[in-house]
Structure 1
């Protein structure tokens, strides 16, 4: 990647799904179980710059900015974990995927759990983490955003609202990607995205009783020093999902970047076959 260029994460394009224009990148092998990757917030599909080159050797890949995140369109009725889970099911149908692995850090983790509870046969395995499982288990700025009043950031340029996050991220992430992240929150986009985490309050109590019914093998992978989604959230999941493997990396929230080799390596081993041996909690 040159100084001014975005990395190669595949053929980046947009498509309309359920009336929304969704940005995605496709790449990878012609055969094999496809992998769906959903971008963390407030980042974008370029957060997977380390993961995609490793996995596209063996799997077809579809990296997606979910509605309201990255550079995909938003709509109020999908900006909640349960509704986003329903959207994920529609998205896989749109791409004619009958069964997939999924990599869903951060906000996507909750959506994919709802989707797996609703339609478990869609998922061969899942890798997730860095997502709060109860509103009260979030910390720091995420806790504040969850409990912020609707419209609190409606008149704020969202690019400024994520300024501190992007400054910290720029220590590891190249400038062209940081600019893509900035655009993802610009204008009112940040307020629209915050509505998703505000809906943790009504939605997450509905998710908890569903966890024990999810039979999909799930890799829980997160940073042990995450200041906004403490490791207790991963432990919470590990104690409730029937088939899971829990890995803590030497990282904070952005494990996919701060511990890129470990994050990518764990997921590659998992999706290239380790998930098949997952018969219970470890």
Structure 2
């Protein structure tokens, strides 16, 4: 997979500019951002994942496996509006010590699925079946963004096989401290329609320019994200529409969650504000908190080296001290 052409195009960039012009937080990110960050670049992607598709529980999903067979099992869940390719930067480093599995959740990334998967419950039900299908045990479950919602719901409501949770920059607590772009998706039918009309190119471009202050994705990476959501923004906006009722299935149970949990967050996250991280940490009985300085919503890319170090230290035994 390789492309020499900008997968966003001028029209996608124009639509992204319109969306960002109505997003007050964009000024904050623009001031903090290093030159060129958040914009796709024509550089080698360095993708080494062994990607595969398989029909599981009636839906065709994409996932990858790799790493060290006898290492601790780390399962990474795709965020929105990305796919498991967002873990390219940390894949080889984690794989030196860990058995790795990465999953495009149904309805996200390059996995199939639509409206029927746009709830925390549906995602965690599939996650339970996926883990059983691959015969995974003692799993360290990494869930950024929408993956955090699936991970929390799975840990709370399913007979899980978790060693720990590593979650962040995502939904899980009420009241939620949202950036304006999330509030638009949750509360405004008009803006949900506008996201759909703007299309996948603008959706991905706008997200990167609002989410990154250090990292610049490759053309190949962004092309995968655009292909992931081309024609699928409608179902994704339904996920935002049902956000409050879905959060209500998780928030009341946080104090009962005894799984060791590492909460991570980008200091400059403008989608879900860092206040969420501090409050979530206080609510969880066995948690640690890692704030990534000068990082945005995609903290796992904005400081990939530190993120990988955090995960490795945690799964090597840090989780036992939580």
TM-score norm. by structure 2 comes to 0.80
CA positional deviation for 1:9: 3.8
Instruction: Confirm or deny that 1:149 pairs with 2:192.
Output: no
Query: Are residues 1:255 and 2:319 paired?
Result: no
Q: Which residue of 1 aligns with 2:97?
A: 58
Matching residue of 1:186: 230
The answer to whether the Cα contact below 8 Å between 2:73 and 2:137 also exists between their aligned partners in 1 is: no
Q: For 1:177, which of 205, 217, 221 is the aligned residue?
A: 221
User: Is the Cα contact below 8 Å between 1:9 and 1:25 reproduced in 2?
Assistant: no
> How far is the alpha carbon of 1:197 from its aligned partner?
2.5
CA drift of 1:42 comes to 0.3
Number of the residue aligned with 1:98: 137
Please give the alpha-carbon distance, in whole angstroms, between the structure 2 residues aligned to 1:193 and 1:276. 36
The count of corresponding residues between Structure 1 and Structure 2 is: 277
Larger mean CA deviation between 201-210 and 2-11 belongs to 2-11
Residue in 2 that maps onto 1:205: 248
- Name whichever of 114-123 and 151-160 sits farther off: 151-160
2:265 to 207, 222, 226: 222
Q: Which moved more, 1:166-175 or 1:38-47?
A: 166-175
Q: Does 1:274 align with 2:314?
A: no
Q: Deviations over 1:241-275 (max 9, x none)?
A: 11000111111111011122221111111112111
Local SS of the residue matching 2:166: strand
Runs of 5+ in structure 2 lacking a partner? 3-41
Structure 1 residues 176 and 89: CA distance shift in structure 2, 3 A: same
Contact kept, 8 Å, 1:238 with 1:245, in 2: the verdict is: yes
Task: Determine which of 155, 158, 168 is the counterpart of 1:119.
Answer: 158
Indicate yes or no: 2:304 matched with 1:265.
no
Cα drift, residue 155 of structure 1: 5.2
Structure possessing the higher relative contact order (Cα contacts under 8 Å, 6 or more residues apart): 2
* Partner of residue 75, structure 1: 114
Change (3 A) 1:227 1:156: closer
Matched, 1:238 2:291: no
Separation in structure 1 between the aligned mates of residue 246 and residue 209 of structure 2, nearest angstrom: 31
Give per-residue Cα distances to partners, 1:106-159, cap 9 Å, x unaligned.
111011111001236411011110013347422121221122339725555333
Corresponding residue SS for 1:162? helix
User: What TM-score do the two structures reach when normalised by structure 1?
Assistant: 0.90
Instruction: Specify the alignment match of 2:180 in structure 1.
Output: 140
What secondary structure is seen at the aligned counterpart in 1 of 2:107?
coil
1:56-91 Cα deviation digits (max 9, x unpaired)? 112211111101111111132221112211211111
**1:35 partner SS:** strand
Cα distance change, pair 134–234 in 1 and its aligned pair in 2 (3 A): same
